[in-house]
Amino acid sequence: MREMQARVYQHRNSRYILVKAPPASGKSRALMFVALDKLANQGVRKIIVAVPERSIGKSFQHTELTKSGFYENWIVDSQYDLTLNGGAAGKVQKFVDFLNDDTATILICTHATLRFAYEKVDDDHKFDNVMLAIDEFHHVSSEDSSVLGGTLKNIMHNSTAHVLAMTGSYFRGDSSPILTPGDEQQFDKINYTYYEQLDGYKYLKSFGIDYKFYQGSYLTALDKAVDVSKKTIIHIPSVNSSESTKDKYNEVDAIFDAIGTVESQDDETGIYTLKSHVDGRLLKVADLVNEEGRDKVQEYLREMKQADQLDILIALGMAKEGFDWPWAEQALTIGYRRSLTEIVQIIGRVTRDSSNKTHAQFTNMIEQPDAKDGEVQYAVNSILKAITASLLMEQVLAPEIHLKARKHKTDKSSDNGGDIFVRGLKDPSTKAVRSIIENDMPDLKAAILQDTAVKNGIAANVDAETMNKELIPKVIMTRYPGLNNDEVEEVRQYAVADTVLRHAVVDQTTDKHGNTNEFLRMADKFINVDELDINLIDSINPFQRAYEVLSQNIDSDVLRTIQRSIDAKKFDFDEDELVYLYNQTKQFIADNGREPDKGSRDELEVKMAYALAKLRDMQARRQQNG
């Protein structure tokens, strides 16, 4: 077993296990080892593995473990691999059949199938002595409106089921905790961080996070942003974003033009061959934006075995979570992404160990913000700290982005150094719209969330376009029948943006100098990135008609420094507490042969772990200051 898998396996007798580990660290195989032990030795009779989408199901298909010395292979009966092609209704019935099949032991399904099938199961005791494994666990929420979260909660509280939860980004990005504090306390937690992963890699040793700011349309800056010498995933902006041209197919054509000249397209696989403008090489390019022929392209991507089978992949909403292309060196993401979870998932696509790279790169290409250069750099550094803390599986404070329509490039921004004003919101065109935005937004958002169609849409996980362009406008038109279509669209934009950006709880604190700091509280477990006095910006380079902010090379040492800085601020110890806990820690190490674990369920052990981190941080600062 890899180090992370062995660490998880040590907890195999725990009823509830939470594994927080980066992409490609081997979580799927860690699950197999634990699940097979539970079947053989712990009285568990069935294993259910739930993944967010069908393509991820391949990670849990038949695996020969005996070749590596384990006592049993992971064998999945194809009839109970519900991530294969087939209708949704039939899969729900198959799930129910599985629970009633005394001979079947392993089932693979999507989160959606689990949700819908649970509604068909008439008795929670059907999950007695069943192990439920949930991949990409950040999709769960303790919110009452979360069907997946409610399903898990009911199974935990009403049956003797075992649960193994796995995620590479425990941070959801909103104010809803994944688990209630009481439920989370029942889990044994295994953390495996990016710096541990990088230390264990043979080839990849660092990665970078850059922000390129452009003026006008991003299409005019593509030739400076796309590096055809690196195997690259390009994510074009959402059609609902201000960066989008609203014609996604034309955007793909423009990316093709920036890369080179189309030589051919393979009829069997759908893969294009382009001749590079830069060096004349023939490049294999996959288009996942165009729906026509997408299935055969996805099949080609699933079957890839060699680095030379693909050079560039272009996608819109796909090729993020769980997508496996180990040779990918660079992710170019166009358009501002408010979700730290999404960014962490995209970074995970390029931070897999492979012989063709020692460094990986994530680049976010966004419209030049309405702020002074120094303010942008301050804000980018905050974002970099938030991203790197997220990579360490911490509950992170997302830097707040204020809503402001940018009308002119010469507009002056506010004096708040942390603000980035993202272009794209329509200015209120009438007094009625302005009044709604300024005075009625809380009531409007409440009406939206109480609307039956919206609630049903949330429960069914309808796509963002349906929610934002159909369901929400209907609520606005019903509540304000006198608005015309343009006014409805303006109110919709502000309601959606306000809901997305301001749903976290805002707290204020005053420091010893009397300065007031505002931050977002995440389920009472937060990290204020402004408190981390770390500069992750390496340089500012000219780019097109704007500039780019380049991060330092983020390697295991940088990540360790950030982890230490975060841990040192988790508890506010006074001097007497530190002395007491230091003595307790020395005794703990002598008794147990290890340092205290911050993931422990013992409160004193957790405090000792953070006290030790605080002392080490103080020592490092003293050494740094001479």
Q: Give the model confidence (pLDDT) of 99-147 as tens digits.
A: 999 999 999 998 889 989 998 888 889 999 999 999 987 766 545 456 7
Is the whole model's pTM more than 0.85, yes or no? no
Higher-confidence residue: 455 or 593?
Answer: 593
At position 35, the amino acid (one-letter code) is A
Going by pLDDT thresholds of 50, 70 and 90, the confidence category of residue 6 is very high
CA distance 505 to 398: 12
Average confidence score pLDDT of the chain: 81
pLDDT digit string, tens, across residues 356-378: 999 999 998 888 766 667 777 77
Mean pLDDT, to the nearest integer, of 219-236?
90
Q: Decide whether 3-192 matches 198-367 in CATH topology.
A: yes
Backbone angles phi, psi at 81, to 5 degrees: -95, 95
Parallel, antiparallel or unpaired: strands 130-134 and 162-167: parallel
CATH architecture of 198-367: 3-Layer(aba) Sandwich (3.40)
- In this prediction, residue 74 carries a pLDDT of 96
Going by pLDDT thresholds of 50, 70 and 90, the confidence category of residue 187 is confident
Going by pLDDT thresholds of 50, 70 and 90, the confidence category of residue 543 is low
Residue spans of alpha helices (H) in 185-328: 194-200, 222-225, 248-259, 294-303
- In this prediction, residue 590 carries a pLDDT of 93
- In this prediction, residue 536 carries a pLDDT of 78
Asked if the model's pLDDT at residue 545 lies above 60, the reply is no
CB 596 within 8 A of CB 606: yes
Provide the strand spans (E) within 181-257: 188-191, 206-214, 232-235
pLDDT digit string, tens, across residues 157-170: 999 999 999 887 65
Going by pLDDT thresholds of 50, 70 and 90, the confidence category of residue 272 is very high
Local structure of 321: helix, strand or coil: coil
Asked if the model's pLDDT at residue 316 lies above 80, the reply is yes
- In this prediction, residue 546 carries a pLDDT of 63
- In this prediction, residue 492 carries a pLDDT of 85
| Positive or negative: CA dihedral 388, 391, 396, 399 | positive
- In this prediction, residue 489 carries a pLDDT of 86
Going by pLDDT thresholds of 50, 70 and 90, the confidence category of residue 403 is very low
Mean pLDDT, to the nearest integer, of 328-357?
86
Residue 177's region, left for phi above 0, alpha for psi from -120 to 50, else beta, is beta
pLDDT digit string, tens, across residues 323-333: 789 899 999 99
- In this prediction, residue 269 carries a pLDDT of 94
Domain boundaries, the chain: 3-192, 198-367, 396-549, 571-625
CA distance 145 to 143: 5
Backbone angles phi, psi at 105, to 5 degrees: -120, -30
Higher-confidence residue: 190 or 569?
Answer: 190
Going by pLDDT thresholds of 50, 70 and 90, the confidence category of residue 617 is confident
- In this prediction, residue 281 carries a pLDDT of 93
Q: Record the tokens describing residue 352, joined without a space.
A: 């897999």
| Residue among 365, 331, 119 nearest 237 (CA) | 365
Asked if the model's pLDDT at residue 298 lies above 80, the reply is yes
At position 331, the amino acid (one-letter code) is A
CB 141 within 8 A of CB 172: yes
Q: Record the tokens describing residue 47, joined without a space.
A: 């294993």
Q: Record the tokens describing residue 358, joined without a space.
A: 């020692």
Asked if the model's pLDDT at residue 502 lies above 50, the reply is no
- In this prediction, residue 411 carries a pLDDT of 40
Q: Measuring CA to CA, how many Å separate 608 from each of 448, 532, 567, 598, 621?
A: 46, 21, 11, 8, 20
At position 590, the amino acid (one-letter code) is A
Q: Measuring CA to CA, how many Å separate 371 from each of 214, 215, 383, 547, 550?
A: 13, 13, 15, 13, 18
Which of the four CATH numbers 3.20.20.450, 3.40.50.300, 3.50.50.60, 3.30.70.20 does domain 3-192 have? 3.40.50.300
Residue spans of alpha helices (H) in 451-501: 452-459, 464-466, 472-479, 485-501
Asked if the model's pLDDT at residue 76 lies above 90, the reply is yes
- In this prediction, residue 589 carries a pLDDT of 94
CA distance 317 to 336: 14
